Structure 1
Amino acid sequence: MDAAYLSTLSALAGSTVGGLTTALSAWIGQRVSARAGLVSSHLARRQELFRDFIVSASKEYGEALTTSEPKIPELLELYALLSRMRVLCRPETVAAGEKLMRLILDTYLAPNRTFKELRDLMTVGDGIDPLKEFSVAARQEIEVAHESRF
């Protein structure tokens, strides 16, 4: 083989390898960026869902402490949020949400609390923070999702 052909083939091979390397690098970078965006979007959706559930559940729990007449549309909204969590969230978070829903329903069936009884509950610290278990589960889920993003 002639030296000119050999150097030409070497140059072509080098250009081909360089071009493929650049294309592969760009493809991998784009893929990683797209995945990070997708994970970030899912994380934002879950955070919004958790916020909505916590706000609605706290209002319903407060209502359940002082009245025996549940507002069915608000309870259904909570169940809808819980169903969305079943699609987007880990089973541990859903289980904590279901436990909170049962507590709210049980609280409606219990005798109404007076302001003094609520103050006593806060002083003792027993049973006044029904959202704690759910909040901890939601925080753990967000931390796991955040770590998987990087």
Structure 2
Amino acid sequence: MNASAISALAALVGAAIGGLTSVLASWLTQRTQARTEWLAHDLAWRQELYKAFIEDATNCYVQALQQHEPDLAALGNLYAKIGRMRVQSSREVADEADVIGRTIVDTYLAPDKTFIQIREMLADGSIDILGKFADVCRAELKSLQAQQF
């Protein structure tokens, strides 16, 4: 092989390697950006679901403390959110949400609470049925945030 053919072949191989490197770097960048955007969207979606669940659970629980007659539409919405958590969230989050739903249903079956009893429940902390759920959600969201970086 003569020198001009070797140098031409070397230039061609160098150009191919450079082009392949550029394509690979671009692909990796696009993939990383897409994953980051997906994680950000997933994080925002979960935050909104957990916020709505906490609001609905609080409203249902307050009603359950004071009335025997359940608001079936509100309970249906609450259990729909629990179902979405079973699909999208960790098992710990879904299990804690289920415990809250069961607690609310059981509370409807218990005797109604007077305002003084509710004040006592506030004082001793027994009214807080969302504490463990909030802790589990916070841990899950923190884990998702760590994956973004």
TM range (shorter): over 0.9
Measured against aligned partners, the alpha-carbon deviations of 1:9-60 in whole angstroms (never above 9, x if no partner) come to 1111111111110110001110111111112111111111111111100000
SS in 2 for 1:139: helix
Tell me the TM-score normalized by structure 2.
0.95
Residue of structure 1 in register with 2:88 after alignment:
88
Task: Report the CA distance between 1:96 and its aligned residue.
Answer: 0.3
The percentage of aligned residue pairs carrying the same residue is 40
CA RMSD in angstroms, aligned pairs only = 1.0
State yes or no: 1:123 paired with 2:123: yes
**Where does structure 1 differ by over 4 angstroms across 4 or more consecutive aligned residues?**
none
- Name structure 1 gaps, 5 residues minimum: none
Single out whichever of 20-29 and 135-144 deviates more from structure 2.
Answer: 135-144
Letter in 1 for 2:145: H
How many residues are paired up? 149
Letter in 2 for 1:20: L
Aligned pairs for 1:134-149 within 5 A: 134-149=133-148
Single out whichever of 2-11 and 69-78 deviates more from structure 2.
Answer: 2-11
Q: Distance in 2 between matches of 1:122 and 1:79?
A: 25
Measured against aligned partners, the alpha-carbon deviations of 1:39-98 in whole angstroms (never above 9, x if no partner) come to 211111111111111110000011111111110100011011111111101111111001
Residue of structure 2 in register with 1:33 after alignment:
33
Q: Distance in 1 between matches of 2:84 and 2:121?
A: 32
Letter in 1 for 2:97: G
Letter in 2 for 1:39: L
SS in 2 for 1:69: coil
Aligned pairs for 1:60-139 within 5 A: 60-125=60-125, 127-139=126-138
Tell me the TM-score normalized by structure 1.
0.95
